[in-house]
Structure 1
Amino acid sequence: MIFRQLFDQTSSTYTYLLGDSASGEAVLIDPVFEQARRDLALIAELGLRLQWTVDTHVHADHVTGAWLLKQHAGSRIAISAASGAEGADRYLQDGDTVAFGPRHLLVRATPGHTNGCISLVLDDESMAFTGDCLLIRGTGRTDFQQGNANALFHAVQDKLFTLPDACLLYPAHDYRGLTVTSVGEERRFNPRLGGELCESDFVGYVSNLRLPHPRQIDIAVPANLQCGAAASAPSQQAEPVWAPLSYTFAGIWELQPQWLEEHLEAPQIIDVREPAEFDGPLGRIPHARLIPLGDLAARSGEIAPERPVVTVCRAGGRSAQATVILRQAGFESVANLAGGMLRWRAEGRVVENAGV
């Protein structure tokens, strides 16, 4: 099984990717709208097909990426039937399963933070995804969106603490940089409802948290009640239109050699190798201009900001960093030549000044 834990720093949200390597099927839990491009890049690089996005509840601190991922990947949207959300492909009930290849996630209704909160338990009970129900040494709050402290206490005790002690728990959020806990740990050490704490202890604790409302609540909740439909979501970053670019999980826009060879005079080609390499046996791409990587930041003023830029080096590593430097300098239309000169020469593309 393929498993990845992803993080959105703005909302402190964890997104979880689970995939079956044999079938290539995958499911994504709690996707974030602004991170859809990142998620799609990772899914493509791992050779997976996204079957489902599942939101553990109607989030109040970020807009879900479910709708956007459906447009780009053809995935289907699943959310709790008690969530009140519209536009999903499937409405989940307690005891339902969400399959990816031969594996599946079991749905356990865990209301209390909201009416529609669910947790997802992997088929072998080795891990569970608890949304905002149970956090690492904490729980979800209960002071808005149909919150109910008594219901949350029983959800944790009856649906999560009944799992094996070794079962790893992955929450939808963490604000201290913690990544994972276990049922046994939380049963012993959770300061809100672990150990010998009773229901009245828990209710008194969460009723006096005095937390401010999430900053994005007025945007996030209406959008998430539509499963993140774009009409209610924040503006998506524009996709590049000057060339057919692809986005990597490393955060780099890449351009394929064939397009560049067919449009050599369209972008500015900046070769960031050293002078000896530029004049060396690999040759150089016609119209390429040499600006070594170490000089690029200081010499970025030599590059026209209104024209797209393609960076190139020996194998694509230094030129990937060159795109970062140029974006920091204010260039918007920048891409890395995938594979660099090694791939360019291996594919027999046109070069100047090549050695024997």
Structure 2
Amino acid sequence: MIIRQLFEPLSSTYTYLLGCEETGQAVLIDPVVNAMERDLAELNRLGLTLAYSLDTHVHADHITAALHLKTAVGSKIAAPACDRLPCTDFGIEEGKPFQVGSISLAPLYTPGHTDGHFAYLLGDRVFTGDALLIEGCGRTDFQNGDAEALYKSVREKLFTLPDDVLVYPAHDYQGRRVSSIAQEKKRNPRLGAERTLEEFKQIMANLKLPYPKFIDYAVPGNKQCGVCPTGLPEDLEKYCRHMTVSPQG
């Protein structure tokens, strides 16, 4: 199996390219519209055909490339079924493996950051979206977020995975690429060690984070599987402008 971790610097998003060497089919987890050409170039370089784009949740900080990829190369769109997006081709549900060639992802319903969030387990790796970040987690103060639900998602779904499972998050803002379940259980300052639910709820209630500057455009656009809105303010146009250079790992 081929696995690539690709980084989009504007939203600090990790996109994951998974390729089946037997069939030549591939999946992109959490693709970003302004890094689409990079992803297609990497698929071409590896001799892979994109079968599906797959999002962990409805994003608030970038526009997914799902619809643009479908238009460009005919790939299908997979997303959590509970979000009921009419533009999807395949609805993700817990307990039903998502199979593309030899790639078999086990969907894990992990609400809390959003009410429709999923993580995806692939053998000894788990792609955690925004539910579990490296020494952190996604915020819970919009999109029907719920601190108690996130605590249970991480502690009861993710932290019960084997310690050596590698954690691949949807974002990192400090240049880190990968963690492990053991490391997060020990070192995550919000959710690790003996942190109680009440302590976690208090932490999340007091983050005092600014209102996401792109959310009012990203959420409606992503509910349409990646429609870039018209009339964007000049300082936000970069979120939909395709990049010519984008670092990758």
- Compute the TM-score of the two structures, normalised by the length of structure 2: 0.91
Task: State the distance in 2 between where 1:237 and 1:59 align.
Answer: 18
Checking the alignment, whether the CA contact within 8 Å between 1:26 and 1:50 is kept in structure 2 is yes
CA-CA distance at 1:22 after TM superposition: 1.8
CA-CA distance at 1:229 after TM superposition: 3.0
State which of 127, 130, 135 in structure 2 corresponds to 1:129.
127
Q: Which residue of 1 aligns with 2:220?
A: 222
- 2:150 is the alignment partner of 1:152: yes
Checking the alignment, whether the CA contact within 8 Å between 1:93 and 1:109 is kept in structure 2 is yes
Kindly provide the CA deviation profile for residues 126-178 of structure 1, in whole angstroms up to 9, marking residues without a partner as x.
10000000000001110111010000000001111111100000110111111
Task: State the distance in 2 between where 1:36 and 1:103 align.
Answer: 22
Checking the alignment, whether the CA contact within 8 Å between 2:119 and 2:126 is kept in structure 1 is yes
Q: Which residue of 2 aligns with 1:168?
A: 166
Task: State the distance in 2 between where 1:74 and 1:68 align.
Answer: 9
CA-CA distance at 1:250 after TM superposition: 9.3
Where does 1:286-297 land on structure 2 (aligned, <5 Å)? none
Q: Which residue of 2 aligns with 1:9?
A: 9
Kindly provide the CA deviation profile for residues 110-131 of structure 1, in whole angstroms up to 9, marking residues without a partner as x.
0000011000000x2x100000
Q: Structure 1 residues 231, 71: closer, same or farther in 2, change over 3 A?
A: farther
Kindly provide the CA deviation profile for residues 68-108 of structure 1, in whole angstroms up to 9, marking residues without a partner as x.
11111211111112224331111111122222212211101
Q: Give the count of matched residue pairs.
A: 241
Q: Which residue of 2 aligns with 1:23?
A: 23
Return the letter of the residue paired with 2:146: N
Q: Structure 1 residues 25, 248: closer, same or farther in 2, change over 3 A?
A: farther
Q: Which residue of 1 aligns with 2:72?
A: 72
Q: Which residue of 2 aligns with 1:205?
A: 203
Task: State the distance in 1 between where 2:121 and 2:59 align.
Answer: 20
Q: Which residue of 2 aligns with 1:48?
A: 48
Checking the alignment, whether the CA contact within 8 Å between 2:130 and 2:138 is kept in structure 1 is yes
Q: Which residue of 1 aligns with 2:118?
A: 118
CA-CA distance at 1:236 after TM superposition: 4.9
Task: State the distance in 1 between where 2:171 and 2:202 align.
Answer: 22
Give the 3-state SS of the residue equivalent to 2:98 in structure 1.
Answer: strand
RMSD across aligned positions (CA): 2.1
Identity score, percent: 49
Give the 3-state SS of the residue equivalent to 1:219 in structure 2.
Answer: helix
Kindly provide the CA deviation profile for residues 309-329 of structure 1, in whole angstroms up to 9, marking residues without a partner as x.
xxxxxxxxxxxxxxxxxxxxx
Task: State the distance in 1 between where 2:103 and 2:139 align.
Answer: 32
Give the 3-state SS of the residue equivalent to 1:169 in structure 2.
Answer: strand
User: Using CA pairs below 8 Å that are at least 6 residues apart, which structure has the higher relative contact order?
Assistant: 2
Checking the alignment, whether the CA contact within 8 Å between 1:85 and 1:224 is kept in structure 2 is no
Return the letter of the residue paired with 1:210: K
Task: State the distance in 1 between where 2:41 and 2:5 align.
Answer: 14
Task: State the distance in 1 between where 2:177 and 2:143 align.
Answer: 26
Task: State the distance in 1 between where 2:193 and 2:245 align.
Answer: 45
Task: State the distance in 1 between where 2:165 and 2:225 align.
Answer: 29
Checking the alignment, whether the CA contact within 8 Å between 1:8 and 1:32 is kept in structure 2 is yes
- Compute the TM-score of the two structures, normalised by the length of structure 1: 0.65
- Extract unaligned runs of 5+ from structure 2: none
Give the 3-state SS of the residue equivalent to 2:216 in structure 1.
Answer: helix
Q: Structure 1 residues 75, 248: closer, same or farther in 2, change over 3 A?
A: farther
Where does 1:244-283 land on structure 2 (aligned, <5 Å)? none
Give the 3-state SS of the residue equivalent to 1:56 in structure 2.
Answer: coil
Task: State the distance in 1 between where 2:241 and 2:227 align.
Answer: 12
CA-CA distance at 1:237 after TM superposition: 4.8
Checking the alignment, whether the CA contact within 8 Å between 2:148 and 2:197 is kept in structure 1 is yes
Checking the alignment, whether the CA contact within 8 Å between 2:63 and 2:227 is kept in structure 1 is no
